[in-house]
Structure 1
Amino acid sequence: MERTAQQRHYALLRQALDDPEMGAFVDSQSDSISPQTRRQYLFANAMYANAVLAWRAGAMDRDEVLRFLRSLARNPVFRSYWVASAEHRVNLPEDSHGAEAARMVEELLQEFNQPSDDEWWVVGEVPNGPGGTST
């Protein structure tokens, strides 16, 4: 069931990417952004949704998702998409993977916006595992 939903999600995104008229339907701000930006936002959505779905399906754990979201949050197009799509996350169930992933992104973005003097290149919690430390 999960895989079928994911396949449908990507089929719809592909249609929206391939057909500007469909892309305008998907994007609630279609009048205020360029077709190029719309395509970038749709791709950002696909990357983000893929990570959340992989987490829900057990293909990624929380630390892997956090590392992936950290890489997305470094991208200025993703940051712009995140602001523009805020209304889509308002009604997520509090205990859902989607809501937790959204909280992770929000925390990462806050940390990116508040650089410190030491370890300025490290954003977010350092995950356990390869390259991470356990505290």
Structure 2
Amino acid sequence: MVTRKLGLRGPGSAATGLVLAAGALAVLTRQQRRCIELRLQIEQQRMHFHLLSKAIDDPELAAVMSTVDLSSRPEPERPRLRRQYLFANALYTHALQSYLAGYINWQELHGHLRVLCQSHAVREYWEATRHHRDSLARASTEAHVGRMMDRIVRDLDDADTDEWWVVGQPLEE
């Protein structure tokens, strides 16, 4: 009885194996790098929320962390506004980081931001921090998300319906 062996033989077989192994290693390296980047993003987000929480709880720290000019507002309402703005920043950052980490998709991010924009304090925060976004690279994801938020605010302002959940469509991703 003759047994037939399938597969490659000779030096070409070894080269093919090396190419396949190198390709598999490259895929693993990319996956490991992405995993490390994701862990670093998550850790950065934790630190950001930790600092925001401290600032929200302590008006003296809030004055350090908040760079929004509140000088036109009466002094007694400034600490409350700072805390609200810092919290609005935490909510926005959470939505942005959820998108960047892949927990939500572009359409879901649009929905989250549209819900956030129902809050007068969030919309006020967004306007007060407009100049902060001017330094973002136009092609960056954060700038693109900022433009989507701008459009949501504009669409809600222009809407002639109380059904806010149907207002506006997300920009192209």
Q: Same fold (TM over 0.5)?
A: yes
The Cα of 1:97 is off from its aligned counterpart by 2.2
Q: Report if aligned partners of 1:55, 1:97 keep a CA contact under 8 Å in 2.
A: no
Residue 26 of structure 1 corresponds to 65
Residue 80 of structure 1 corresponds to 124
- 1:57 and 1:94 map into 2 onto residues whose CA distance is 21
Q: Work out whether 1:49 is the aligned partner of 2:71.
A: no
- 1:61 and 1:95 map into 2 onto residues whose CA distance is 19
Residue 9 of structure 1 corresponds to 48
Q: What is the aligned residue count?
A: 124
- 1:71 and 1:64 map into 2 onto residues whose CA distance is 11
- Which protein, 1 or 2, shows the higher relative CO under an 8 Å CA cutoff with sep ≥ 6? 1
Q: Report if aligned partners of 1:20, 1:35 keep a CA contact under 8 Å in 2.
A: yes
Identity level (%): 35
Describe the superposition over 1:32-70 as per-residue Cα deviations: whole angstroms up to 9, x where unpaired: 451111111110000000111111111111011000000
Q: Report if aligned partners of 1:55, 1:62 keep a CA contact under 8 Å in 2.
A: yes
Describe the superposition over 1:76-125 as per-residue Cα deviations: whole angstroms up to 9, x where unpaired: 11110001111111111222221111111111111112124xx6622111
Decide which structure has greater helix share.
2
**Ranges in structure 1 where 5+ consecutive residues have no aligned partner:** 127-135
**Ranges in structure 2 where 5+ consecutive residues have no aligned partner:** 1-39
Q: Report if aligned partners of 1:40, 1:77 keep a CA contact under 8 Å in 2.
A: yes
Residue 133 of structure 2 corresponds to 89
TM-score (ref. length: structure 2): 0.67
Q: Per the alignment, do residues 63 and 73 of structure 1 end up closer, same or farther by CA in structure 2, a change over 3 Å counting?
A: same
The residue matched to 1:74 in structure 2 has which SS? coil
Bigger drift between 21-30 and 50-59 goes to 21-30
2:83 alignment partner, one of 22, 39, 45: 39
Q: Per the alignment, do residues 120 and 18 of structure 1 end up closer, same or farther by CA in structure 2, a change over 3 Å counting?
A: closer
Bigger drift between 80-89 and 26-35 goes to 26-35
TM-score (ref. length: structure 1): 0.84
The Cα of 1:30 is off from its aligned counterpart by 4.9
